[in-house]
Amino acid sequence: PPPDLEDVSKIANGEAFALECLIESGLKLDSLAALSAKELDTNGSKIKCLVKCFFEKTGFMNKDGQLQEETITEQLSKFMPRERIESLVKNCNFQEADACETAYKVTECYFQNKAGLF
């Protein structure tokens, strides 16, 4: 199943960013909670680019699609111990040719390893 993007929106008080990205994505969803595995099959690239949009707005990724590990660590360490975050950031440091794919894979990795992140 896709990661729970409603959790993602809590990062860096990013609910407004998440909403902006949802609107920009053109996805017809009532909320991020409406995302499902079926939606991912149908609108996979739009959803992945929605995550990239969110990463850019929160500073997790620059406009060139490069992850900003320091920013990610700073933001996420508000939710759990910094050592855990540093290890998470290191383990989930994907760099795909496509920035949308990178953002999505990183998010998926964070959620698979979160163990109480939110």
pTM > 0.85 = no
Torsion over CA: 37, 43, 46, 50 (sign): negative
- Write down the domain spans for the chain: 5-112
CATH number of 5-112: 1.10.238.20
User: What confidence tens digit (pLDDT) does each residue in 23-82 have?
Assistant: 888 877 665 556 655 666 677 788 899 989 999 999 999 999 999 999 999 988 887 889
Q: Which of 116, 63, 72 is nearest to 90 (CA)?
A: 72
The two tokens of residue 16 are 């407004």
**DSSP per-residue string spanning 56-80:** HHHTSB-TTS-B-HHHHHHHHTTTS
How deeply is 10 buried, as exposed, middle or buried, from its count of CB atoms within 10 A (0-12, 13-18, 19+)? middle
